[in-house]
Amino acid sequence: MKKDNSPPQSIAHTLIALLFVALLLLPVVYALAVPHAGAAKTNGGLKSPGLAKEALLEPQYYKSWSRYAQNLITFRSPLTRAKSWIDYHLFAMTDAKGIQVGRQGWLFDKKDIASYQKNDCGKAQHIARQVMHIRSAARLAELAGRRFIFSIIPAKSTIYPEYVGPMPQNRPCAKSMYDLFLSHHKKSPLKAFLRLDADLTAAKTAHGLLYDSQGRYWNAAGAQIAGQALTEALFGATSADQGNDDTNNLGPAVMGQPDGSPANSGDKHHPEEQKHYSACVLYGTAAATPLLPGLMHRFDRLDVINTTTIPSGNHHENLAAYETILILIDESDLDELNVDMDRFCQMLGADAAAGTRHAIDLGDIKARTGSALELTPDRLVIKSMGATAFLEVPSLPGSGDHSLRILKLALTAPQRDVLTWTVEGDTTIGGMRQLRSGINQIYLPLPARPFVRLLVNTGQTAGIFQLENAELLSYGDTASLPLPRPEPGQLPDSSRNAPAEHASMPHEQTPAEPEVPPAIVLNDIQAGRIFQRRGTACDIFISGSYRGRPKAIEAAVLAYDSDKLIVPWTPVDTTPANGIFMGVLPGVPQGGWYRLAARFSGRNAVAARGDSPWGVGLLVACIGQSNMREWFHSGKDLAPHRLMSIHHNGQWRATEISGNGAVAFANQLITRLGIPVGLLDYAVNGSGLRREADWGRGYWTDNSPRSIYRQFIQGVTAAGGTVEFVVWMQGEADAARKTITENQYRKSLNNFITRQVRSDIVNGSGRGHLPFLVVGMVKRPVGLDAPHQAIRNALVAVTRETADCYLAATTLDLKNMGRQHLAPQAYTQLGRRVAQTVLHVLGKTTYYRGPSIVQARRTGDTTIEIRMVHRGGSDFSPTSGITGFKVFNGQSSVAIDGVERIAPDMIRINLSQPARPPLRLTYLYGAMPDSQGAVHDNSALQLPLEPFETRLDRWPGETTRQ
Amino acid sequence: MLFSSPLFLFIFLPAAILVYYSIRPLAGNRAANTVLLLFSYLFYLCGAGTFTLILLGSTVSDYLLGLLIQRHRSTEKLWVALSIALNIGLLAFFKYANFFVTEVNAWLTMTGHNSVQWTTVALPVGISFFTFQKISYIVDVYRKHTRPLANFIDFALYVAMFPQLVAGPIVRFKDIWDQLRLRSESWKNVYAGALRLCWGLAKKVLIADACGQVADVAFGMGTAVLDTKTAWLGALAYTFQIYFDFSAYSDMAIGLARIFGFHLLENFNRPYAATCITDFWHRWHISLSRWFRDYLYLPLGGNRKAPWRTYLNLLIVFTLCGLWHGANWTFICWGLYHGFFLIFERATGLRQAAAGRWGWIGRPAAFLVVVFGWVLFRAESLPHAAGYARAMLIPLDTPLTVELYAVLHYRNIAFLALAAVATLGAPFLPQWEQLFLTRGAWQTALGLVLILLVLPYCAAFVMAGSGNPFIYYRF
């Protein structure tokens, strides 16, 4: 390189240039020279992606290198810390997600202040409904002899708003959800509500800081103030102490003083002098932790459940077993709070605790819109058109200051659905209920007003519901029987004050006028829909509307292309009324595509034909994480069979289908079974199984209302609620968490299958349990062996110990593309393997898994012989150059000279040098085993030899079976 | 691979420098070019994957066609036409086919026909830039402005040299021909290149991304609720962002090339100091303007024919210039918008007036025209652009949104203010890029500050993953 001419300046420039190069080189050179100083050791331990010839043209491969490089670079941590320091101290900001820097360096969780910023006045209705549910739950708990306290842990920004910093000015609504909650509380105090913000705000000048400037939750001083308030409410308050405190008047509610409570509950209350209690359940989040030491010694048993759904969906607690129920919810979680009144009432025996039970005459219930009713001697049959259908329950006395009334409905639903209800004239009151297929016990707490008239929508999907029973449960006053009728003016005029939904609904069909020509309109089935077969046929629900006076409505099923009659004309509704008909057409045979037709009975001219193709066949729900998503998207090598359909986000799609895995899988099944196959695509990229593996995309064991699991179940419900198989392809997110053990994953997956999936999805297979197919985790060029192997072992263990659970495919021999996904061609192989498993379960094939190793023994100083048993094949390949085997002596690997076939079921490993026991032998183990020369049998699918691990403990070694 | 990524800054670049300067003294220029070519292909492979084969294939074809033009002058037009057809064909397929099919399908659907089945085509990064470079080579050879390169390595390096491969500047063959064969490296070049690189990195990471955060929020809002001050704030933020982003890339490209001994032409010359739109296009994306001038405007006749023909030529050039930026009606309209002002200035003589004593009024007027042009450029669609412009023009005062508050923290405000001062005050400020080349104690101190403070701070930004890709990467 040339030198510059003017010496001093040139030297300076040269030195700066050298400095520049040195700075660029320094991180890597330092990391290579001092390996233990590299961030790689402390920051995830990513392995080098190495040289992957097949991935050289894949940008993903270089992204793996980029991640590895970023991890390798020393000084990354100090540099980013220095930047954060500058951002924080110089600019009073941070790039850290979810944190806002306020005044004087105070840090706030953005979630805490979001409620103030986002104009949550729009959530007034939501909060009003929450308040009503909490009030009802508290009352019910009190009547059942339980102590119930509900409290909201104030956000830091609520107690220290002066440090939050600039906020948008002139907002149309400056109320947070907490403000809304308090305003409801102010209007009509919740006796069980322990308000903490007032105590904390009052104490903040006297007690120093109650929240640390950089803490998320209160500090010890803040927790102490709150703990005192809670302890006082629980153990120490007397009515005299609380005389003037309207908002904190918990004593009577908690300590069981009359306070307008029903006479029959008085003997259940604990006297206030009782200072020690048996069992308590605390629903709370992290901020509640500092309160636990003060509470634990006061109870024989204190169960803490981290949830916002009460009772929780995952912990299977029984509220009846607890004497005290505490709910300490973070202010920022208020939106998430969900009091499941049905379960709450059932657990606390609401029926038995009722002072009076008044049966409601089902004949008094009327159809408002979109529905037709048929009263039978023992039930009310509701033909509902879905979201627009509303029933009107006769006016009932509401709850009062000293009473609680609950309307209990016993409703049989044809499928999973969501019931919604509201009070006529006040849409802020009401709620939703999840319905199961079959009978549901629904408890609707009535608001505090003299009379209410409820409007109930039985479900979003059209169907025939049956109301078995309706009764009014009254607590706290028994003087109201027989049911009083409202005086004029006590109820809003239903014709004028119908809810918005009502205003937009079609009016009921009055008896047909003579001049209106008869007509029939069929509610068509969504194009591409596939109904899950039951056996070899299924019943199809049919609905629609009509004009005229039909005696009955008939329906038929036609072949979509030829209009050939598949199911002959059959009466489906012999008592059509209100312009609505619906009924079930039984025995539609498996096959497709079909179309619907309907007509007036005996009048061929009045008929309607559906336009959409649909079929009856086999539904498979596909869930997991990115590899399952890619199964639906990676590759366009195969043309989808015309009888294939995909259900995603509640919609069916029979065209524009791609994804080698999904198409290969469905094509194979359709070709073999000759019936339509529908795949329910509900995998979520990056999703974990357990909470610890929640990388921001959700986790599957989360059963809360907005969880990915509930979205999946909603999808299944929209597809009919019944499937024949579930395919699971997941584990990478949990393996990446590293701390999740094999046992933890195994237990979680087992619970997930048995307690969630099989509980929420109707088994359409005709087997004892809904078949659950587990696909093994694919290879990953990055990541550690141990956590990956732990998850793989857990997946296999679950298939062994869970009934009707199958290892659908081994994937370690399949070609990777990029970091952790399969190559498109590999998805084709995978799809066929999983299809083979389905066919095996259906009894169509004799095998679905590849050969497995049954014996490994040392036959010499340097040789190990392995015997395998075949399932579908009789021999294997390759005959030499087999890879994937590893031999370990302790932690060190023993070099292998070669691995070769010596018989159709025998493999010999030649070690490069004699090795002494104890030895460990593995095949296709770890995060990224070498599967270049993996063993495949000679069956049609060329299935791989299954992964294996064993110890060769004795010399000369005898068999050690895995 | 992004220039502002850890992989590039701390692995790729030092490796390229080390290998290049290890080979160069021992094996000479040819081997040095080979090293640079290999690194350039590795650079492209990282971001483009299999599209690298398209780059390689089209490079080979243009290399051979260049030789054919030279050797078979009688059929040279055929080879030129073939080369241009191949290059434009590739560009049209990868960049415009999706747009074309979408528009055709919309029309078919509107007229009740079935739409055409089409699988979306991915855009190879940098195709707009290297296609224009190859065309410039073929045309220069055809015009006998230069001889074709006999050495394939040199030609492939001209097409794929990593500093300017994916986002320019568009290097005309005649500007770099000599340097491919003969150039000298020196510590002075490394020094100047390093400072320019750091300067570009700072502009991108600190200023452009800060402006981008504000612009993204404003342009992400529905135009129905967009108030006037937010609309102006967003439009100005984007005006600063696109300049600092693109000029930062050019700075880094020029700096990187300088480290390896290449002198690339400047791509920007304080464009917001322009006194009229004609002047703006002499200062903005200079390499693209020159390319269109040399290879389209002048062949169409330039201004040598009747005035109406000149106006038509301008309109054609700027429509294509808009289309070059992307397959969207917003880009086409943006090109037409600038074309209209160029014609207007030419027809009214405003461009001469603005260059003289009316410069004080021409400068803010041109800036305003450019700002509204960027609104068109940034908007998702024409209705979005119209709604946004309406929000800028029809006064509406509503409170700032929470989202805007979230990005208007002190750091972004400081860098937005810096961007405003640097661009609007450009006529009165020194050209920073030239300062690095001048000698003097404080210039040296400035260099030290850049290397020792700004570079680590920017590196920390990069490592924290808070950066965004360059805007021109998608063109």
pLDDT at A42 over 50: no
Instruction: Using alpha carbons, select from A541, A572, A366 the residue that is nearest to residue A467.
Output: A366
pLDDT at A437 over 90: no
Chain A CB contacts of B410 below 8 Å = 90-93
Q: Which of residues 82-101 of A touch B (CB under 8 A)?
A: 82-84, 86-87, 90-93, 95, 100-101
Query: Which tokens is A584 given?
Result: 């079930």
Q: Which of B11, B53, B452 sits opposite A28 (nearest CB)?
A: B11
Nearest residue on chain B to A57, alpha-carbon basis:
B49
Query: Which tokens is A479 given?
Result: 């003087």
Chain B CB contacts of A114 below 8 Å = 402
B397-415 average pLDDT score: 83
How many alpha carbons lie under 13 Å from residue A315 in its C-beta half-sphere? 16
Q: Say how far apart CA A663 and CA A547 lie, in whole Å.
A: 44
Nearest residue on chain B to A1, alpha-carbon basis:
B186
Which percentage of chain B shows pLDDT scores above 90?
Answer: 19
- DSSP states of A536-558: TEEEEEEEEEEES--S-EEEEEE
Of the listed ranges A98-107, A416-425, A629-638, the one predicted with least confidence:
A98-107
Quickly state the pLDDT bin for A1 (edges 50, 70, 90). Answer: low
Which percentage of chain A shows pLDDT scores above 90?
Answer: 29
What tens digit of pLDDT does each residue of A294-352 get? Answer: 788 778 888 888 888 888 877 778 888 888 899 998 888 888 888 888 888 988 888 88
> What was the pLDDT predicted at B462?
77
Query: Which tokens is B48 given?
Result: 């483009």
pLDDT averaged over every residue in chain B: 85
3-state secondary structure of A248: coil
Element (DSSP H or E) covering residue A146: none
3-state secondary structure of A105: helix
Q: Say how far apart CA B471 and CA B246 lie, in whole Å.
A: 7
Q: Say how far apart CA A442 and CA A345 lie, in whole Å.
A: 9
Q: Say how far apart CA A23 and CA A390 lie, in whole Å.
A: 72
Q: Which of residues 425-454 of B touch A (CB under 8 A)?
A: 439, 444, 447-448, 451-452
> What was the pLDDT predicted at A507?
38
What tens digit of pLDDT does each residue of B134-188 get? Answer: 998 999 888 888 888 778 888 899 888 888 887 778 888 878 888 888 887 788 8
Element (DSSP H or E) covering residue A383: strand A380-384
CB A950 within 8 A of CB A920: yes
3-state secondary structure of A649: coil
Q: Say how far apart CA A942 and CA A931 lie, in whole Å.
A: 14
> What was the pLDDT predicted at A155?
87
Say which residue, A164 or B235, is predicted with more confidence. Answer: B235
pLDDT at B285 over 80: yes
pLDDT at B454 over 90: no
Top residue of B1, B4, B21, B188 to mutate, by most chain A CBs within 10 Å, is B188
Quickly state the pLDDT bin for B105 (edges 50, 70, 90). Answer: confident
Q: Say how far apart CA A274 and CA A145 lie, in whole Å.
A: 14
A807-831 average pLDDT score: 86
Instruction: Using alpha carbons, select from B174, B438, B431 the residue that is nearest to residue B287.
Output: B174
Quickly state the pLDDT bin for A494 (edges 50, 70, 90). Answer: very low
Of the listed ranges A20-29, A481-490, A791-800, B87-96, the one predicted with least confidence:
A481-490
What tens digit of pLDDT does each residue of B327-352 get? Answer: 888 999 999 999 999 998 888 877 77
> What was the pLDDT predicted at A835?
96
Contact assignment for B188 to A4 by CB distance below 8 Å: yes
What tens digit of pLDDT does each residue of A118-145 get? Answer: 555 667 778 888 888 898 888 888 888 8
pLDDT at A249 over 50: no
The residue annotated as part of the active site, out of B145, B282, B285, B325, is: B325
pLDDT at A242 over 60: no
Q: Which of B401, B448, B456 sits opposite A79 (nearest CB)?
A: B456
Quickly state the pLDDT bin for A117 (edges 50, 70, 90). Answer: low
- DSSP states of A749-776: HHHIIIIIIHHHSEE-SSSSS--EEEEP
pLDDT at A238 over 50: no
> What was the pLDDT predicted at A868?
92
Contact assignment for B49 to A66 by CB distance below 8 Å: no
CB A214 within 8 A of CB A88: no
Radius of gyration of chain B (CA): 23
> What was the pLDDT predicted at A669?
95
- Other beta carbons within 10 angstroms of residue B113's beta carbon come to 11
CB A699 within 8 A of CB A625: no
pLDDT at A240 over 60: no
pLDDT at B99 over 90: no
> What was the pLDDT predicted at B471?
66
With b for 16 or more beta-carbon neighbours within 10 A and e for fewer, the B33-57 pattern comes to: bbbbbebbbbbbbbbbbebbeebee
Q: How far is CA A894 from CA A47, A916, B60, B414, in A?
A: 21, 10, 48, 61
Q: Say how far apart CA B261 and CA B33 lie, in whole Å.
A: 11
Q: Judge whether A70 is closer than 8 Å to chain B, CB to CB.
A: yes
Quickly state the pLDDT bin for A844 (edges 50, 70, 90). Answer: very high
* Backbone phi and psi for residue B123, each to the nearest 5 degrees, phi listed first: -95, 120
Name A620's bridge partners. A679, A725
Quickly state the pLDDT bin for A38 (edges 50, 70, 90). Answer: very low
Nearest Cα of chain B lies from the Cα of A35 at a distance, in angstroms, of 16
Whether omega for the bond prior to residue A878 falls within 30 degrees of 0, making it cis, is yes
Instruction: Using alpha carbons, select from A458, A259, A501 the residue that is nearest to residue A371.
Output: A458
Of the listed ranges A3-7, B324-328, B421-425, B452-456, the one predicted with least confidence:
A3-7
Q: What angle do CA B458, B464, B466 make, to 5 degrees?
A: 80
> What was the pLDDT predicted at A954?
53
Which residues 6+ apart lie within 8 Å of B123 measured at CB? B94, B95, B474
Which residues 6+ apart lie within 8 Å of B211 measured at CB? B237, B238, B240, B241, B244, B412, B415, B416, B419
Quickly state the pLDDT bin for B387 (edges 50, 70, 90). Answer: very high
DSSP A120: G
Q: Say how far apart CA B295 and CA B327 lie, in whole Å.
A: 21
Quickly state the pLDDT bin for A272 (edges 50, 70, 90). Answer: very low
> What was the pLDDT predicted at A443?
93
pLDDT at A108 over 60: yes
3-state secondary structure of B113: coil
Say which residue, A753 or B27, is predicted with more confidence. Answer: A753
What tens digit of pLDDT does each residue of A781-813 get? Answer: 766 778 888 999 999 999 999 999 999 999 989
Which spans in A418-460 are helix H? Answer: none
pLDDT at A670 over 90: yes
For the question of whether the overall pTM of this predicted structure is more than 0.80, the answer is no
Quickly state the pLDDT bin for A736 (edges 50, 70, 90). Answer: confident
> What was the pLDDT predicted at B346?
86
What tens digit of pLDDT does each residue of A8-18 get? Answer: 567 877 888 88
- DSSP states of A806-822: EEEE--TTSPEETTTEE
Question: Is residue B282 flagged as an active site residue?
Answer: no
3-state secondary structure of A229: helix
DSSP A425: T
> What was the pLDDT predicted at A415?
82
A583-611 average pLDDT score: 87
Top residue of A23, A29, A108, A634 to mutate, by most chain B CBs within 10 Å, is A23
Contact assignment for A16 to B444 by CB distance below 8 Å: yes
Quickly state the pLDDT bin for A78 (edges 50, 70, 90). Answer: confident
Report the interhelical angle of B441-449 vs A7-33 (nearest 10°).
Answer: 10
Which residues 6+ apart lie within 8 Å of B330 measured at CB? B376, B377, B379, B380, B381, B382, B385
pLDDT averaged over every residue in chain A: 81
Q: Say how far apart CA B155 and CA B149 lie, in whole Å.
A: 6
Q: Which of B6, B48, B414 sits opposite A91 (nearest CB)?
A: B414
Q: Any long-range contacts for A351-354 (C-beta under 8 Å, 24+ apart)?
A: A351/A408, A351/A473, A353/A140, A353/A143, A353/A144, A353/A265, A353/A475, A354/A406, A354/A473, A354/A474, A354/A475
Q: Any long-range contacts for A311-318 (C-beta under 8 Å, 24+ apart)?
A: A311/A340, A311/A343, A311/A344, A311/A347, A312/A283, A313/A703, A313/A704, A314/A701, A314/A702, A314/A703, A316/A755, A317/A281, A318/A347
For residue A57, with 0-12 CB atoms within 10 Å meaning exposed, 13-18 middle and 19 or more buried, which class applies? middle
3-state secondary structure of A283: strand
> What was the pLDDT predicted at B29?
81
Say which residue, B49 or B152, is predicted with more confidence. Answer: B152
Q: Which of A9, A57, A92 sits opposite B50 (nearest CB)?
A: A57
Report the interhelical angle of B209-220 vs B228-259 (nearest 10°).
Answer: 140
Q: Say how far apart CA B148 and CA B67 lie, in whole Å.
A: 6
What tens digit of pLDDT does each residue of A495-544 get? Answer: 333 333 333 333 344 444 455 677 888 888 999 999 999 999 999 989 88
Query: Which tokens is A924 given?
Result: 């296709």
> What was the pLDDT predicted at B361?
82
What tens digit of pLDDT does each residue of B415-448 get? Answer: 999 989 888 887 777 777 676 666 677 777 888 8
> What was the pLDDT predicted at A677?
96
Query: Which tokens is A172 given?
Result: 């149309």
Quickly state the pLDDT bin for A646 (edges 50, 70, 90). Answer: very high
> What was the pLDDT predicted at A923?
92
CB B436 within 8 A of CB B447: yes
Q: Say how far apart CA A802 and CA A795 lie, in whole Å.
A: 11
Say which residue, A68 or A682, is predicted with more confidence. Answer: A682
pLDDT at A751 over 70: yes
Which residues 6+ apart lie within 8 Å of B344 measured at CB? B350
